[in-house]
Amino acid sequence: MVGDKIRRLRLDRNMTLAELGSELGISHQQLQKYETGTNRLSAGMLSNVSDVLRVPIEELFEDTTGKKGGAPDPQEKARNECHALINRTNSPEKLSAMARVLKALATD
């Protein structure tokens, strides 16, 4: 269940296995094993995953399969994708440019 939740959160953020694996400091193959349940995640790795995906650790244990509607909220999905892109940006110049674009879009 936890691996499936990680996969859904990763996909909501439009991240590849390689991208999330890199953020976690593991190979994409190892991440795939976590997502499929082949390997178990340690407490430390669960903490890292929640930090990188910016969700409370308890959210990794929530079962959302019985959720009404089933489809993720489009607004929340877009927010998550924006957060993920911002978090992957290391250049102060690029972050400033992103901020300018977001400010310009927000004033519409």
pLDDT digits (tens, 9 = 90+) for 89-98: 889 999 999 8
CATH number of the domain at 11, please: 1.10.260.40
Range of the structural domain that residue 68 is part of: 2-106
pLDDT at 108: 60
Taking a C-beta distance cutoff of 8 angstroms, is the pair 83, 54 a contact?
A: yes
pLDDT at 22: 92
% of the chain exceeding 70 in pLDDT: 91
- Nearest-angstrom CA–CA distance, 90 and 87: 8
Structure tokens at 76: 């929340």
Span 76-103, mean pLDDT? Answer: 85
- As for how many domains the chain has, the answer is 1
Structure tokens at 21: 């694996």
% of the chain exceeding 90 in pLDDT: 51
Q: Over the stretch 42-79, which tens digit does the pLDDT of each residue have?
A: 999 999 999 999 889 998 988 765 454 456 678 887 88
Taking a C-beta distance cutoff of 8 angstroms, is the pair 23, 52 a contact?
A: yes
CA-to-CA dists, residue 73 to 7, 39, 68, 69, angstroms: 17, 30, 11, 9
Structure tokens at 94: 């690029």
